[in-house]
């Protein structure tokens, strides 16, 4: 093959700026080969290098006594007791999922699973945070069907339960949906594997699917905005094979249980190139690759294609020298391809040979450590104007308003989605989708992991700093609400183009807010990813710093649920209610406005309230508990009634608050507790001793929810409102071109 | 009780099934690899749920041709107890040990939920321990659980009392709401619901336990 000349067009097509190209030439002291240009383009892409976000991410706290490994590895690691660690991370697959929803979402699941089992952990749970456009946008239904089918097709086949997540709709995501997938695994603390190469001369073993031409430059695609022709990029989306992933998972864990593996890295973005580079860089070593040894799916692949292919279900391992035969026997049992494709060297360089030719000869440290870092100009977000509603608008019938909110795309039951996911496989799911947090037993013990994903994008758009605080605080609250001790978070920071100062301003403020909350709540960040360029033709998404929270329940016996099961329980509202309606769902759904500031987040109160709820859970005083979030008190009460099949009577609003403000205000740091009547007073006394606001707001009982003085709403009507919207919407045939495409491309039993 | 669970490439309920069986049987349950050509001495072989070979052909079609399946067919013909759950049920129909076939759910979507079932017969080594309890709840999780059989076949199943479980609210379009069937000799059972996911009080449902207890009693006699 004749190497093409490196022209300005070629440089631009690789997403490199003229300045970045100048630096590449300076580092090499010569013109790069086409292969080398490709390697730089990927390693220095926003997706791999975090060049716009790095400076700001340093502000996030990453340490706590229970943190074993923070950001920088394939996933974060925290101690969860009984000698076990949880290994977890969340990642975005936004761009590919918009272009090709089934495969984009499926490979998103595949990638995050590999990040976890790469570290020697068995994946035990998946969660998905999804954002779609306006339900009336012609493409939304197609994308929803495709993404959900893709997640189901992959996760169900691999056999890891999808236990939770969230789904939201907003016109800002019309042309840029978000697919964020979180995976949690478990391992013995002393059996965690890191991606740090060691031992000059040790072989590099390639394992898994063969390398094809799919997904070349996926990382570069994910580092640019869409034009009007996003779908033309379909060939850059990879295709998933969950069956091979399952074999790879079992084979890797089987091999890692023996004493033969030094380091492992999955081949994600930029495939062989980035996995070998990153392992060598962390170990301060070099690597020599024989591209002719790579198992190929297609004939005639060039060195450039082999180096940059993003074919899925592949891993790269550093083995102890002499252990090749043992490793090959394990992979042969699982019918997987494997091949030694290189060795570690001590020269700190990546050298790749193809058909006897040295096609790349690059210094590793500059590629990984001297990637450009940008201090992008940022405009601080403008403070939101206050929400000044017409008092008449707030004097509403709470029953009718509640039914409207429960049937809104934001709040409506997501059963249609989560019933397509196997949330019970592995037989450790103690609380699946639909609770404040999912609870998964730590296999073979009586301990549990509590898991949640949270973010309220409209809050973040109005005030990114408060929104960042709120996202972290809500994750914390959801974990406390099931009785768990919050330990750490992962995140996906989804934003528009960092080249626009107002977007950088949003990003900086959101990260600052998150950092404040993480510090105040002792809830460090142990892994995460940044997804910029979520915009199309200059229109960006709402800033969406998606949080994935993990907590531990030391005794599953002490788990608390939101289901209101018994008659005659006293309902206590914990936390202060000021009737905050700025950016509330009530405003959005009933007044058609998105105005004002989001509710402020008092982090000290948040920590105090969370600790108090956990204490009550430990003392077995809570019959049910639910955090208050979108839709406020009335919605929280309705959700508790629906979960337990039991009604409740809630007292009329206090005189100083308008009905809408009392029922639907979104003040933060609040929980609705159900306690036995004979214990209510003791709980109130304890709260007051701690200076925590607490009020009796009602009682459970009957088969209707009553928001005094409004007429009762039967549970049947509540359920009808809550359960009907999504299935009717998702399955409605519309006849548009997009809808006729088969969104169920995958196989499955 | 000498029992084993087979692992095919792509099985994913094999561990869950072993754990549930061990908790009821009180003895270790063997793990068998699909590539083995000999069966050890056994009372019961169970085929677990999952996606053997990715279900890339018809669900269960390739696994039904694994080396171990020839042995399992012989074992069943000699009267050995064979249980297939979900993908295991699909494999048993593909291997010709059970009549009928499992095709895509009526709604065309994967469905994971806990459903109401009727125990249609207790005259089998798999269901005897349900006794008077005829209404149970078990989880389902499948994409291809729609049981189909022709009219003659259905008449034979009904005539011989081979229908073991029926859905009370048919979630997948199965013929006659069939959720599980026995062979004529009643030593082979296939069912789509997952009793192994309902065998632990911590998970809030133990309606699967009597199925395993039936097997234990069938092998050791009641009272064991």
What letter does residue A312 receive in the DSSP assignment? S
**pLDDT band per the 50, 70, 90 thresholds, residue A329:** very high
Residue A251 has pLDDT above 60, yes or no: yes
Question: Active site residue: A14, A47, A217, A423, which one?
Answer: A47
Distance separating the N- and C-terminal Cα atoms of chain B: 10
Q: What number of CA atoms fall less than 13 Å from residue A262's CA on the CB side?
A: 23
ipTM greater than 0.90, yes or no? yes
Buried b (16+ CB within 10 A) or exposed e, A124-161: bbbbbbbbbbebebebbbbbbbbbbbbbbbbbbbbbbb
The pLDDT score that the predictor gives to residue B57 is 87
The pLDDT score that the predictor gives to residue A220 is 59
Question: Among A186-190, A231-235, B189-193, which stretch is predicted with the lowest mean pLDDT?
Answer: A231-235
| B32 neighbourhood in chain A, CB within 8 Å | none
What letter does residue A530 receive in the DSSP assignment? E
Residue A739 has pLDDT above 70, yes or no: no
pLDDT tens, residue by residue, A578-606? 999 999 999 999 999 999 999 999 999 99
pLDDT tens, residue by residue, A656-666? 999 999 999 99
Contact A329, A207 (CB under 8 A): no
Q: Mutate which of A426, A727, A749 to disrupt the B interface (most B C-beta within 10 Å)? A: A749
Question: What secondary structure, in 3-state letters, does A181-245 show?
Answer: EEEEEEEEHHHCCCCCCCCCCCEEEEEECCECCCCCCHHHHCCCCECCCHHHHHHHCCCCCHHHH
The pLDDT score that the predictor gives to residue A741 is 43
pLDDT tens, residue by residue, A265-307? 998 777 898 899 989 999 999 999 999 999 999 888 999 999 9
| List of domains in chain B | 3-223 (3.40.50.880)
Neighbours of A55 (CB within 10 A): 15
| A153 neighbourhood in chain B, CB within 8 Å | 110
**Contact status of B12 with chain A (Cβ, < 8 Å):** yes
Average pLDDT score over residue span A179-201: 94
- For chain B of 224 residues, list the mean pLDDT of each consecutive stretch of 10: 97 97 97 94 97 91 94 97 98 98 96 98 97 95 97 97 98 98 98 98 96 96 60
Distance separating the N- and C-terminal Cα atoms of chain A: 45
Task: State the pTM of this model.
Answer: 0.95
Tell me if B20 and A427 make a contact (CB, 8 A cut-off): yes
| Helices and strands, counts by H and E, chain A | 26, 28
The pLDDT score that the predictor gives to residue A603 is 98
DSSP B171-189: SS--GGGEEEEE-TTS-EE
Taking Cα atoms as reference points, which of A242, A225, A320 lies closest to residue A538?
A: A225
Q: How many angstroms separate the Cα of A122 from the Cα of each of A249, A529, A610?
A: 8, 21, 30
What letter does residue B49 receive in the DSSP assignment? -
Is B94 an annotated catalytic residue? no
Helix H or strand E segment including A315: strand A314-319
CA A441 to CA A437: how far, in whole Å?
13
| Nearest chain A CA: its distance from B10 CA (Å) | 6
DSSP A697-740: EEEE-SSEEEETTSPPEEHHHHHHHHHHHHHHHHH-----HHHH
CA A712 to CA B21: how far, in whole Å?
48
Instruction: Please identify among residues 537-576 of chain A the ones whose CB lies closer than 8 Å to any CB of chain B.
Output: 556
Higher pLDDT among residues A15 and B82, named by residue:
B82
Residue A227 has pLDDT above 80, yes or no: no
Tell me if A243 and B15 make a contact (CB, 8 A cut-off): no
Task: Considering only the beta carbons, identify the residue of B13, B35, B202 that sits closest to A441.
Answer: B202
**pLDDT band per the 50, 70, 90 thresholds, residue A2:** low
**Contact status of A93 with chain B (Cβ, < 8 Å):** no
Q: Give burial (CB, 10 Å; 0-12/13-18/19+) of A566.
A: middle
**Contact status of A422 with chain B (Cβ, < 8 Å):** yes
CA A59 to CA A55: how far, in whole Å?
8
pLDDT tens, residue by residue, A140-187? 999 999 999 999 999 999 999 999 999 999 999 999 999 999 999 999
Q: What beta strand segments (E) does A104-147 contain? A: 122-132
Between A and B, how many residue pairs show a Cβ–Cβ distance under 8 A? 109
Q: Is the link from the previous residue into A709 a cis peptide, with omega within 30 of 0?
A: yes
Sheet holding A624-627, edge to edge: A624-627, A671-675, A570-574, A694-700, A648-650, A704-707, A713-714
Is A47 an annotated catalytic residue? yes
Contact A127, A453 (CB under 8 A): yes
pLDDT, mean over chain A: 93
| A747 neighbourhood in chain B, CB within 8 Å | 51, 54-56, 143
Sign of CA pseudo-dihedral A660, A666, A667, A670: positive
Residue A369 has pLDDT above 60, yes or no: yes
| A439 neighbourhood in chain B, CB within 8 Å | none
Residue A749 has pLDDT above 50, yes or no: no
Residue A401 has pLDDT above 80, yes or no: yes
Q: Is A359 helix (H, G, I), strand (E, B) or coil?
A: strand
Backbone φ and ψ for B192, nearest 5 degrees, come out as -80, -40
Q: Mutate which of B12, B21, B33, B60 to disrupt the A interface (most A C-beta within 10 Å)? A: B12
Q: Is B146 helix (H, G, I), strand (E, B) or coil?
A: strand
CA A193 to CA A589: how far, in whole Å?
49
If you measure CA to CA, which chain A residue comes closest to B198? A427
Tell me if A427 and B10 make a contact (CB, 8 A cut-off): no
């Amino acid at each position: 093959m004749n190497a093409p000349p490196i022209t300005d067009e070629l440089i631009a097509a690789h997403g490199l700026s003229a300045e970045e190209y100048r630096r590449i030439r300076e580092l090499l002291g010569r013109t790069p080969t086409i292969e080398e240009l490709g390697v730089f383009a990927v390693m220095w892409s926003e997706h791999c290098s975090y060049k716009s976000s790095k400076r700001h991410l340093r502000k996030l706290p990453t340490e706590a006594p229970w943190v074993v490994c923070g950001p920088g590895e394939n996933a974060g690691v925290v101690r969860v007791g009984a000698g076990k660690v949880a290994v977890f991370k969340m990642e975005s697959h936004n761009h590919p999922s918009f272009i090709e929803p089934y495969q984009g979402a499926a490979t998103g699941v595949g990638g995050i699973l590999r990040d976890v089992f790469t570290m020697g952990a068995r994946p035990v749970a998946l969660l998905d945070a999804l954002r779609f456009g306006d339900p009336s946008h012609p493409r939304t239904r197609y994308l929803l069907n495709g993404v959900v089918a893709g997640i189901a097709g992959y996760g169900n086949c691999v056999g890891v339960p999808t236990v939770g997540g969230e789904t939201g709709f907003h016109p800002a995501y019309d042309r840029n949906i978000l697919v964020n997938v979180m995976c949690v695994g478990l391992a013995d603390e002393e059996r965690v594997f890191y991606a740090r190469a060691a031992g000059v001369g040790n072989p590099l073993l390639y394992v898994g699917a063969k390398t094809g031409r799919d997904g070349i430059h996926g990382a570069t695609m994910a580092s640019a905005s869409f034009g009007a022709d996003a779908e033309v990029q379909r060939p850059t989306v990879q295709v998933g094979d969950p069956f091979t992933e399952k074999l790879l998972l079992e084979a890797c864990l089987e091999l890692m249980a023996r004493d033969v593996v030094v380091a492992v890295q999955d081949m994600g973005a930029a495939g062989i190139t980035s996995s070998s580079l990153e392992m060598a860089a962390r170990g301060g070593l070099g690597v020599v690759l024989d591209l002719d040894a790579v198992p190929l799916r297609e004939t005639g692949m060039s060195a450039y294609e082999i180096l940059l292919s993003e074919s899925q279900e592949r891993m790269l391992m550093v083995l102890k020298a002499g252990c090749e035969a043992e490793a090959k026997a394990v992979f042969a049992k699982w019918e997987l391809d494997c091949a030694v494709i290189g060795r570690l060297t001590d020269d700190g360089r990546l050298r790749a040979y193809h058909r006897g030719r040295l096609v790349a000869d690059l210094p590793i440290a500059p590629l990984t450590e001297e990637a450009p870092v940008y201090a992008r100009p940022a405009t601080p977000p403008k403070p939101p104007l206050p929400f000044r509603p017409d008092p008449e608008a707030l004097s509403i019938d709470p029953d009718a308003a509640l039914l409207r909110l429960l049937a809104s795309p934001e709040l409506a039951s997501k059963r249609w989605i989560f019933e397509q996911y196997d949330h019970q496989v592995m037989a450790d799911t103690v609380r699946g989708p639909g609770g404040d947090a999912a609870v998964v037993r730590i296999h073979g013990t009586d301990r549990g992991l509590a898991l949640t994903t949270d973010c309220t994008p409209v809050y973040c758009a109005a005030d990114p700093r408060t929104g960042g605080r709120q996202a972290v605080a809500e994750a914390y609250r959801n974990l406390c609400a099931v009785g768990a001790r919050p330990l750490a978070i992962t995140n996906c920071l989804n934003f528009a183009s960092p080249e626009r100062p107002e977007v950088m301003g949003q990003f900086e403020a959101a990260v600052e807010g998150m950092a404040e909350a993480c510090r105040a709540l002792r809830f460090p960040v142990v892994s995460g990813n940044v997804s910029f360029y979520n915009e199309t033709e200059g229109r960006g998404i709402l800033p969406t710093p998606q949080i994935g929270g993990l907590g531990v329940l030391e005794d599953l016996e002490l788990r608390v649920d939101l289901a209101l099961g018994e008659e005659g329980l006293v309902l206590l509202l914990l936390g202060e209610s000021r009737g905050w309606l700025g950016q509330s769902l009530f405003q959005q759904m009933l007044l058609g406005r998105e105005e004002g500031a989001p509710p402020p987040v008092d982090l000290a109160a948040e920590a105090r309230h969370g600790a108090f709820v956990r204490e009550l859970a430990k003392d077995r005083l809570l019959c049910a508990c639910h955090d208050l979030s979108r839709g406020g008190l009335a919605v929280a009460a309705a959700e508790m009634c629906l979960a337990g099949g039991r009604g409740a009577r809630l007292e009329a609003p206090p005189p100083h608050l308008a009905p809408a403000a009392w029922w639907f205000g979104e003040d933060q740091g609040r929980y609705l507790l159900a306690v036995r009547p004979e214990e209510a007073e003791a709980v109130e006394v304890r709260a007051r001793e701690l200076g925590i606001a607490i009020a009796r707001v009602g009682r459970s009982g009957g088969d209707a929810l009553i928001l005094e003085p409004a007429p009762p709403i039967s549970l049947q009507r509540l359920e009808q409102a809550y359960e009907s919207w999504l299935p009717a919407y998702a399955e409605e045939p519309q006849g548009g071109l997009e809808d006729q495409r088969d969104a169920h491309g995958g196989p499955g039993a | 009780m000498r029992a084993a669970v087979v692992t095919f490439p792509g099985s994913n309920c094999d561990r869950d099934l072993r754990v549930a069986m061990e908790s009821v049987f009180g003895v270790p349950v063997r793990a068998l690899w699909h590539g083995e050509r000999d069966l050890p001495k056994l009372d019961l072989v169970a085929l677990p749920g999952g996606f053997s070979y990715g279900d890339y052909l018809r669900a269960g079609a390739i696994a039904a041709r694994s080396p171990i399946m020839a042995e399992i067919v012989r074992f069943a013909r000699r009267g050995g107890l064979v249980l297939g759950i979900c993908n295991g049920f699909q494999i048993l129909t593909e291997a010709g040990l059970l009549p009928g076939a499992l095709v895509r759910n009526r709604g065309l979507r994967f469905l994971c939920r806990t459903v109401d079932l009727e125990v249609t017969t207790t005259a089998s080594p798999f269901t005897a321990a349900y006794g008077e309890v005829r209404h149970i709840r078990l989880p389902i999780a499948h994409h291809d659980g729609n049981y189909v059989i022709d009219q003659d076949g259905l008449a034979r199943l009904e005539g011989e009392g081979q229908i073991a479980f029926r859905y009370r609210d048919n979630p997948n379009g199965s013929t006659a709401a069939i959720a599980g069937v026995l062979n004529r000799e009643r030593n082979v059972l296939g069912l789509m619901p997952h009793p192994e996911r309902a065998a632990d009080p911590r998970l809030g449902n133990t309606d699967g336990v009597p199925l395993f207890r039936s097997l234990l009693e069938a092998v050791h006699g009641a009272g064991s």
